[in-house]
Chain A
């Protein structure tokens, strides 16, 4: 029979943890509400942006534009690839971090030369993970000055990030830029996803659903198509990054909420089991005492 005091202490400590997980559950559920609201109010912008850029590009005369330049003269193994990875700042959110880190690892493993891979990690957890790995040779390098939090995404943060990667792309420090984030399919289903940010591919745009090229009148661009594209593409990148940030933040809160809810429930189950055990132990102790008293009295009578 386990010791009664031990069980009591165990129950007390579980109760403490239960309080914490419950508080975290409540906090993440209110944060989730906020993040959901942000997601809902950005969605129109996000979709309209994609739609408009598509229709703008349909009307655009073919330009030799920097952001469309695929730099096909550089062989595959020499291409410098940048990955923006969005992870959480904190742990305790179920498999959220694990999934996106695993997804990144798989993407990196598929890259022909790991030394040409550069990681731009948002969020403390991912940064620590990849920095630790980067100490060993044969791992992708992590930009240590890329310090952005994933909490409460703002358009200005997205803008800074977009400017940074576009700047690197222009300077030929990067030839390809990818964005890795967690996409929320519905509230129970999340999926890590890779999105190619730069260079832009025209085949994404300008095709009707049946695959034929649309014939449309050319729109006029003020002051010139190149000037407008110079502005439009960074803006598009910014919008995409912001959308991904909002999406990822929402996913993080969702998975933290689910994880903390599960933790709270299992703590409750454990307390229930332990109380049963405790009561049994107490009953056993009482029975034993009675038996002892009875035995003592009986021996006295004789």
Chain B
């Protein structure tokens, strides 16, 4: 069996990653999910969260916001709204976005607006978390 699987991570604005990885860990709806080469075919959606993949024994981390993954035994495709490396995250912008979203949450909102701001807050928090964790 092959030791690597071909991973493609495609965000709406660019092709984030394309190459062979040895191990992939994603945050699925119900928790972390590790994927090794030869995994059974699988489809699941990804909420805003963290993603890591191993290339040549080295872990790479990325912040991902909403997408889905399709896994086949020898390849995996992730399609996401956005995907960023920890060092690409603009902390100031994320911080501002968090404050804005928190402020919005305090206001009276319709249910839809509430979900939208909640999603925005999640994105901002995730970016901050990942950039603090992996990029100091």
B64-88 contacts to A (CB < 8 Å): 66-68, 70-71, 77, 79, 81-82
> Min CB distance, B67 to chain A, in Å?
8
Contact-residue size bin, chain A (C-beta under 8 Å from the other chain):
20 to 34
Q: Say yes or no: is B108 at the interface (Cβ < 8 Å to chain A).
A: no
**For B79, what are the chain A residues with a Cβ–Cβ distance below 8 Å?**
45, 48-49, 52, 235, 239
Picked from A49, A56, A155, A242, the residue with its CB within 8 Å of the CB of B43 is: A56
Indicate if the CB atoms of A45 and B12 lie closer than 8 Å: yes
Given contacts A217-B41, A219-B43, A220-B40, contact A42 B12 (CB under 8 A): yes
Main secondary structure of the interface of A (DSSP, over half): helix
Query: What is the CB-to-nearest-CB distance from B112 to chain A, in angstroms, rounded to a whole number?
Result: 7
Q: A44 near B: Cβ within 8 Å?
A: yes
* Chain A 202-224 interface residues, beta-carbon cutoff 8 Å to B: 217-223
Q: Is the CB of B29 within 8 A of A223?
A: yes
- Which B residues lie within 8 Å of A152 (CB)? none
Instruction: Give, as a whole number of angstroms, the nearest-CB distance from A153 to chain B.
Output: 10
Out of A222, A227, A232, A239, name the residue touching B33 (CB < 8 Å).
A222
Q: In the assembled complex, how far is the CB of residue A241 from the closest CB belonging to chain B, in whole angstroms?
A: 12
A219 to B8, CA, bound (A): 19
Q: Which residues of B contact A52 (CB under 8 A)?
A: 70, 77, 79
Contact B41 A222 (CB under 8 A): no
Shortest distance in angstroms between B32's beta carbon and chain A's nearest beta carbon? 12
Nearest B residue to A56, CB-CB: B43
- How close is A168's CB to chain B, nearest CB, in angstroms? 12
Residues of B within 8 A of A173 (CB): none
Find chain B residues with CB under 8 A from A217 CB. 41
Q: Do residues A41 and B41 form an inter-chain contact, with CB atoms below 8 A?
A: no
Chain B: minimal CB distance from A166 (Å): 12
Q: Encode contact with B along A237-261: 1 for CB under 8 Å, 0 otherwise.
A: 0010010000000000000000000
In contact, B42 and A219 (Cβ under 8 angstroms): yes
A222 touches B10 (CB 8 A): no
Does A268 interact with chain B (Cβ within 8 Å)?
Answer: no
Smallest CB-CB separation from B47: which chain A residue? A231
Are B68 and A41 in touch, CB under 8 angstroms? no
Q: Is B103 in contact with chain A by the CB < 8 A criterion? A: no
With a CB–CB cut-off of 8 A, which chain A residues contact B44?
221-223, 228
Nearest A-chain residue to B45, judged by Cβ: A231
A42 contacts across to B, CB distance below 8 A = 12-13
Determine the residue in chain B with the shortest Cβ distance to A46: B12
- Determine whether the beta carbon of B112 is less than 8 Å from that of A163: yes
Instruction: Report the minimum CB–CB distance from A155 to chain B (whole Å).
Output: 5
Whether, in the assembled complex, A36 has its beta carbon less than 8 Å from a beta carbon of chain B, the answer is no
Q: Please give, as numbers and ranges, the residues of chain B lying within 8 Å of A239 by CB-CB distance.
A: 12, 79
* Contacting pair A59 B43 (CB below 8 A): yes
B residues whose Cβ falls under 8 Å from a Cβ of A? 8, 10-15, 28-30, 33, 40-45, 66-68, 70-71, 77, 79, 81-82, 112, 116
Query: Which residues of chain A have a CB within 8 Å of any CB of chain B?
Result: 38, 41-42, 44-45, 48-49, 52, 55-56, 59-60, 155, 159-160, 163, 217-223, 227-228, 231-232, 235, 239, 242
Q: What are 30 A-B residue pairs whose CB atoms fall within 8 Å in the complex?
A: A44-B10, A45-B10, A45-B13, A45-B79, A48-B8, A56-B70, A59-B41, A59-B43, A60-B43, A155-B82, A159-B81, A218-B41, A219-B70, A219-B71, A220-B43, A221-B44, A222-B29, A222-B30, A222-B33, A222-B44, A223-B44, A228-B43, A228-B44, A228-B45, A228-B68, A231-B45, A232-B68, A235-B68, A235-B79, A239-B12
Other CB < 8 Å A-B pairs besides A155-B13, A219-B43, A228-B43, 14 of them?
A: A44-B14, A44-B15, A45-B10, A45-B11, A219-B41, A219-B70, A220-B42, A220-B43, A221-B42, A221-B43, A221-B44, A222-B44, A239-B12, A239-B79
